[in-house]
Amino acid sequence: MNKPREGLRHSESTYTQNEEGSQKVLEPDPLIWTPEETQTTEELKQALISALVLALPSLEKPFHLFVTVDHGIALGVLTQTWEAGGGGGQKQLVVFISKLLDPVSRGWPECMQAVAATALLVKESKKLTFGGTLIVKLFYIESEIYGIKEPGERDDLVLTTDACLNPTSFLWKGEEIQEASEHNCLDIIEYKTKVRPNLSEVPLHDGTKLFVDGSSRVIEGKRHNGYGNKHALCEGGRLPNSWTAQTCELYALNQALKLLKGQKGTIYTDSKYAYRVNGGLINSKENELVQEELVRQVLESLLFLTEVAVVHVNGYLKGGSMEAGGNRLAGEAAKQASLEEEIRLLSLIPSIPKVTLNPQFTIEEEEELDKIGAI
């Protein structure tokens, strides 16, 4: 039984939060039951007892989707307008939806997590609305983040802003809800995702221009690593053979940043890995990066320039443009440097005086040792 409570997904508001704990219980063999599992079971019982009564959906009415994010979990509710019985246009709960965001999305700022959560729950909602109109209610997130188009682009999906209380805020589990302070989402996203305010992806009009590249090749069964930085002067060097191609690219970028310390400049690289170095120190599988220390050095080096732009260029760019020519020269410099004398990484072992296996003592020393019972 892979998902013991799958049937409760759309009737229990905290399904995804509790699902992870349930899955962990089923993994070990034999079953290990701890006080934590007992608490989770009691919480499940309370959730089932206190579950809200959901209305039957009507395909003739539009669906309203409300979304929020709680610790990397997308929480949403689908509602429909209730007219019968003097309801006066009140919203009636139809379905609960909850999904765990992927590791990459969970590493984003909360405003961007809400965007990812909305996209994810819209996709899930389409499985339940059977082509009916879906109206997505946006709250504290600015519409500029979503890039809302003119009405009429899609008849079955409508994005609107709503100043009313978001019903999904009541689905938060554990901690008390804290009122979000007023803020500009675009400013927060830029602040949290950029190492420095004036780090650009567009070439600067003035300043030094550097082309960097790393090389990792196998020649006659032996790996050769190197890097190259191309400007008026060509700077390069041999790198340890144990390094990966990504590590070589990062090292080349870091060396270029050091060359431009205290200056203003544009650095061109054909490495997507080096170009996206500000993505964080965790990969998509939530594991630490192998080059974590080198990434930290690059992020630190970015702070010592007055203004900098890191621009990605196509590694297979042809023609006589400045970008194509500079990238080719940097690549050739890296390949040439990889053929230099091999760099060896040696460990420094401190010199420790040898211990005599058969120590010799004087008569006075033997008497002292005899007094303490050492002989």
Q: Which helix H or strand E contains 294, and what residues bound it? A: helix 292-301
Same domain for 148 and 252, yes or no, is no
Same domain for 293 and 214, yes or no, is yes
Same domain for 68 and 17, yes or no, is no
pLDDT of residue 232: 45
Query: Which of 168, 193, 218 is the last residue in one of the domains?
Result: 193
Same domain for 224 and 306, yes or no, is yes
Sign of the Cα torsion 254, 258, 264, 269 reads: negative
Same domain for 231 and 333, yes or no, is yes
pTM of the model: 0.51
Residue type, 85: G
- 369 in a structural domain: no
Query: Which of 139, 174, 193 is the last residue in one of the domains?
Result: 193
Same domain for 189 and 57, yes or no, is yes
Q: Tens digit of pLDDT for each residue in 105-126?
A: 887 777 788 888 888 999 888 8
- 372 in a structural domain: no
pLDDT of residue 192: 64
Query: Distance between CA 215 and CA 10 in Å, rounded?
Result: 52
Same domain for 79 and 40, yes or no, is no
- The segments of the chain whose pLDDT lies below 70 read 1-31, 47-53, 83-89, 139-154, 163-165, 168-184, 188-195, 215-236, 272-290, 315-317, 319-320, 334, 337-357, 375
- CB neighbourhood size of 211 (10 A): 28
Contact 242, 301 (CB under 8 A): no
Query: Distance between CA 307 and CA 265 in Å, rounded?
Result: 7
**Structural domain span for residue 29:** 1-51
Contact 334, 213 (CB under 8 A): yes
Query: Which of 51, 66, 91 is the last residue in one of the domains?
Result: 51
Tokens 């090389």 correspond to 215
Same domain for 27 and 141, yes or no, is no
Same domain for 114 and 66, yes or no, is yes
Same domain for 159 and 211, yes or no, is no
Q: Tens digit of pLDDT for each residue in 48-107?
A: 656 566 778 888 889 989 888 888 888 888 888 876 555 556 778 888 888 888 887 887
Separation in Å, CA 174 to CA 17, 103, 127? 10, 22, 30
pLDDT of residue 150: 46
pLDDT of residue 140: 54
Q: Domain containing 309 — which CATH number? A: 3.30.420.10
Tokens 């939060």 correspond to 17
